[in-house]
Copies of this chain bind each other. A is one copy, B any other.
């Protein structure tokens, strides 16, 4: 790693640059990786993006399972990267540790919450990086930084040694600059391969495209042709017959209730200082009641049934990863909230249903990247990674 480059990107937490050698042989031998600072690294405090969290937690006794698996596969760890506070934001602007530089779109946010991991890969400080995705925290920074990224099937990768946020949504994911490496990491982290699924129909989510800026569909048109070349003839569908707005609202309530259940004790006990946005959201999640949760649960079940229905027999659903390119750094609060709502309206689809999603850096608007996403049935992570690798070759 070039120290000057690393310093100028600001991807790592304070004291977060160190090195742990990987095994001397293995499928990732010779590659380097960074880990979002919600993954435990033995002997170091996992800071989760908030100084009060770091102050009130002891060093980890052992590596998180994902970190250990990459080390065992021969990759070397080069450091811990900045995360949005408690992974509860999509912007990538940490009020305590700063905003990592988005090398693919300087002046714009990297996206979060896995902002430092995305910035480190985009800035070529390492080959790959671990992130986590509850509401879009791998997919959005991958889209903003022009990277390949994956949100895995819920429950497919064990999360020992990883800070929980909203356990029924939390999954591990990772970033790479090419589709081939994204897939090779999957072969290490996904455990027993899930055979069988082969891409069948290509579905284009018209309601998801309608949520995005007008410039997005034309920017992704050539990418869609490549996806069609890999999968087969496309068919337009409306993803949510009851409207994506209802899905977003259900996601927001269920995620919020789980965030509060996960962190209420620590927040109540330590009264941590949170930056803007995160502070307001923590005040809100404490107010969610059982009636809201029950109503949102009913919507979630409908969403799951609908996605099951759409994604049988190897179908692949295609949609924009993000509603726009990365916002400029330092966006005012109300515009940040509006961007968050529009983004979650797209990312909640895979989140509510626990489905895997890959994002491919195949679009560009005004010189800044935007990703095209593919969602498939639960367990079809390998199929999506195979598509990402194949489509990357089809340029």
Query: Residues of A with Cβ closer than 8 Å to B?
Result: 58, 61-62, 65, 68-69, 72, 153-162, 164, 167-168, 191-192, 194, 196, 257-258, 260-262, 264-266, 268-269, 286, 290, 293-294, 297-298, 300-301, 308, 377-379
Contacts and interface: CB of A to CB of B under 8 A. Distances in A.
Nearest to A289: B290
Given A265-B300, A286-B290, 7 more contacts: A72-B192, A155-B160, A157-B158, A191-B191, A261-B261, A264-B290, A266-B297
A87 B134 CA distance: 26
Contacts of A265: 294, 297-298, 300-301
Given A261-B261, A265-B301, A290-B286, A160 B378 contact: yes
Contacts of A161: 155, 378-379
Contacts of A266: 297, 301
A269 B290 contact: no
A339 to B, nearest CB: 29
Identical copies of this chain, number: 2
Contacts of A159: 155
Contacts of A297: 264-266
Interface centre among A155, A164, A260 (most CB of B within 10 A): A155
B69 A192 contact: yes
A161 B379 CA distance: 9
B65 A155 contact: yes
A362 to B, nearest CB: 29
Contacts of A286: 290
B160 A153 contact: yes
List of 6 A-B pairs having minimum Cβ-Cβ separation, nearest first? A265-B297, A155-B160, A158-B158, A167-B167, A156-B160, A62-B379
